[in-house]
Amino acid sequence: MMHKLRHPKLVMLIGVCTLSEPIYIITEFMENGSLLEFMRDSDNKEHLKLPAIINISGQISDGMTFLSSQSYVHRDLRAANILVGTDLNVKIADLGLAKLISEDEKQTLRGEMKFPIKWTAPEAALKNEFSIKSDVWSFGVLMFEMITLGRVPYAGMRNAEVIQNICNGYRMPTPTDSATECQDWYYGTMLKCWNDNPEARPTFEHLYNKFCRRMR
């Protein structure tokens, strides 16, 4: 699956070593590590103003547009799984939970697979129903991570509290003490990603075009 998924915004698979344990997956090298670590490094904060965050958001939505066009859901989209190269070039990584589904089909999971609840859409957390639109929900949480330069979403809440509050209509407010400016349109985009109705959430193509317009 990873070998077939080739796109400039996806970390490229080079090869695998399976002759003996442990099995190794060899991918291209991204010298600045994960986006989460990069944002939390105080030396990088001056480079992560709103224009840079918009650019990174556009790169990620570009890669997710490709994934969705191939009918793949990522299922673990968050800053820890975005890798940073030179000149703020980012790529989507950790496709270990990615799944091929029929177009617009929900994928129901069985068994004991665990997911990062704070990034997981309510229909996925409660019913194990994953779709491209549940990735969009996760992208909204990733936007929160980016605008706050790596703060933990739903700070102070346990996983069960997060799910209960979301089902009762709670959404994270605009981060007023953000390390960088959070404009109304940016927060409004986050809210659209967190629509209760998965079909009412924007597509990644729409998000990509929106960020591209903001970069002009």
Q: Residue 121 forms beta bridges with which residues?
A: none
37 CB-near residues (< 8 Å, 6+ apart): none
Contacts of 143 (CB under 8 A, 6+ apart): 57, 186, 189, 190, 193
Q: And the tokens for 32?
A: 């600045």
CB 143, CB 186: distance < 8 Å: yes
Instruction: For 169, list phi and psi in degrees, rounded to 5.
Output: 100, 0
DSSP state of 177: T
Residues identified as active-site: 76
Torsions phi, psi of 174, nearest 5? -60, 125
Contact present, 72 and 105 (Cβ < 8 Å)? no
